Structure 1
Amino acid sequence: MINKVRHRVLNLSLGDAELRLLRVFASVVQHGGFSAAQSALGMTQATISTHMRNLEQRLALRLCTRGRSGFQLTEEGRLVYDAALELFGSLEKFQSRIGEAQGELSGNLSFGTVDAMITNRELDLQGALASFHAKAPRVHLEIDVAAPQVLHQGLLNGSFQVVLMPSVGSVTSHVRSQPVFSEVQKLYCAERHQLFARPDEELTDAVLASQSFAGRTYMLNETICGVNFTWAAATPHMEGTLLLLLSGAYIGFLPDHYADEWVRTGRLRILAPERMTFEDMFHIAYPRNKPSRAAETLAEAITESVRKPH
């Protein structure tokens, strides 16, 4: 099977049109389907379907299936996807190396981060991006906001060259990871929740554990701050958590900087802050083996943008 797919890919004439088809395919896979990829690609489902059909015809391979069970890659599709990511990575490295040989940074750079960074008091990410652009104006920077597990996997498979994320799992030998700042997480409920008016002294571990809890898809369903919460919903993003909390049906953790405005306006309340608080350590990470100068430059700019305590 692998040899069959390799033969088809090697015999595919790789011009701009073929590369464009492969990038559409990769985006569909990364977003989990045709409809989910529409916004990222700026295409209708019909156009995406046409591109996918053209690619399958050129390769003479069935790459995916769609139906009631949802979008699924075939075995051939998975192999082509892996080969496409290797190809994109090689092209980006080539462009980067040419730019370095010419004395300036160029090419494409894919950067991934989690959401809710713009309100973070510990990091001036927008300042880091401005600094990076000043140093590398010819680099085409692509930014994607994704869940930590997606960022980690993307770093391993080459779809991201630099990521900023909280720690998820073990750091592999293929990745350089550097801690840059910690983010304070506190427990919240909304004004419509039954705990909103309860004094902190009544918020025992048992009371908190009895409530419907909105957790993170990348966190283990385990004790947090000493409480065995009742997981009733999960989302990878802070905005998703905030929506669940504002429904009045759940309690959950948010970064304090992200929740501040909602607390000030009386829409959210911090629950038992002396006990229900923990910190997430954020890392900047990029490939260990021959990272591009552009990747290193962006990583340095982000590291330098961490705000020093007064």
Structure 2
Amino acid sequence: MDWDKLRIFHAVADAGSLTHAGDTLHLSQSAVSRQIRALEESLNTTLFHRHARGLILTEQGELLFDATKSMNKRLEAASARIRDSEEEVFGELRVTTTTGFGTLWLAPRLPKLYELYPDLKIDLMLEERVLDLPMREADVAIRMKEPSQADLIRKRLMSVRMRLYASKTYLETNKAPVEISDISDHRLICQSLNSIQVAAGATLLQHLMTYDIPNTFTVNNYFGVLQGVINNIGIGVLPDYLTEDFPDLVRVLPDLESGEVPVFLAYPEELRQSKRISAFRDFVQDEIFTHRRKMREAVEI
């Protein structure tokens, strides 16, 4: 059905007059009449009884008017919510990021976001595959490299480095490596070189593997690597953002680390004015600022 014809039909049914509907729609009476006739022909039915005092809906017209009234109410409600959204934050926000960052850094901080915006609904999609933001597979992404897709607003959030960590319990019963060659005396917990990971992490891992490590435990994401480390399986390759939330981790071979891994937040240009996006972006930036401050303070102690 033609939406424009339905809009004109609704105005005529509401006004009970072609003339009054035309005044409301800023159309001539003849133009309104033509649109109504065309709608009736497309439906193969009569929508109005015409008489000297005006128009009366037929039974079929009443059915259609009930539908257009419902549509009009929903459109008015949506319009009101859109206007309200200029001041309020609510509705669904689809966020995509990697499994490691999403489970280990972002998800534990989301309760604070919900305290600020209790009507916000987060759909958190954790996967290594890069979702297509311009095609609206997600609304906002946090990624470990600058997104290459066009028509995206990008914001660099922070840098991450991959380092070696072990649990305090593990190091109480196993001698900590002093030189990089000592790593061959330990089980290395890491992502498999065949799994998707940032280039800097893969480069560090390839370097470690040149030391003929006889025993490894590989997982396809950093959440699994962390579980291996805190359960004392061995020494793990992990991102440095974990040290704030897992204080029992002890850095091993402190001179060894990967190159910088940039962390970017990105969202489509068309969502520039979205209050949900703005609230989420500002929240993440504030949390990262707090995280950096705590990291600096820990180094100074």
Question: Normalised by the size of structure 1, how large is the TM-score?
Answer: 0.49
Question: Which position in structure 2 is the counterpart of 1:287?
Answer: 268
Q: Distance in 1 between matches of 2:286 and 2:95?
A: 17
Correspondent of 1:298 among 280, 288, 291: 280
* 2:235 is equivalent to residue 251 of structure 1: yes
Structure 1 residue 259: Cα displacement? 4.6
Correspondent of 1:215 among 175, 184, 191: 191
Secondary structure in 2 matching 1:109: strand
The answer as to whether partners of 2:96 and 2:131 remain within 8 angstroms in 1 is: no
Q: Distance in 1 between matches of 2:204 and 2:136?
A: 33
Q: Distance in 1 between matches of 2:79 and 2:237?
A: 43
Aligned length: 200
Structure 1 residue 232: Cα displacement? 5.3
Amino acid at match of 2:218: A
Correspondent of 1:107 among 84, 91, 98: 91
State, as a whole percentage, how many aligned pairs show the same letter. 14
Question: Which position in structure 1 is the counterpart of 2:41?
Answer: none
**Alignment deviations for residues 65-121 of structure 1 (CA, whole Å, 9 cap, x no partner):** xxxxxxxxxxxxxxxxxxxxxxxxxxxxx998752334544432223441211699x
**Alignment deviations for residues 176-232 of structure 1 (CA, whole Å, 9 cap, x no partner):** 22111234432124555899404413x33x845995441163315842178243775
Question: Which position in structure 1 is the counterpart of 2:204?
Answer: 224
1:195/1:274 CA distance change after superposition, 3 Å: farther
Q: Distance in 2 between matches of 1:96 and 1:181?
A: 37
1:290/1:207 CA distance change after superposition, 3 Å: closer
Correspondent of 1:141 among 84, 100, 121: 121
Shift >6 Å, 4+ stretches: 94-97
Q: Distance in 2 between matches of 1:261 and 1:300?
A: 21
Secondary structure in 1 matching 2:162: strand
The answer as to whether partners of 2:161 and 2:260 remain within 8 angstroms in 1 is: yes
Structure 1 residue 173: Cα displacement? 0.8
Structure 1 residue 240: Cα displacement? 1.1
Which structure: larger Rg? Answer: 2
Structure 2 residue runs without a partner (length 5+):
1-75, 297-301
Question: Which position in structure 1 is the counterpart of 2:154?
Answer: 177
Q: Distance in 1 between matches of 2:110 and 2:159?
A: 14
Secondary structure in 1 matching 2:288: coil
Which stretch shifts more, 281-290 or 101-110? 101-110
Amino acid at match of 1:187: L
The answer as to whether partners of 2:166 and 2:230 remain within 8 angstroms in 1 is: yes
The answer as to whether partners of 2:92 and 2:123 remain within 8 angstroms in 1 is: no
The answer as to whether partners of 1:184 and 1:277 remain within 8 angstroms in 2 is: yes
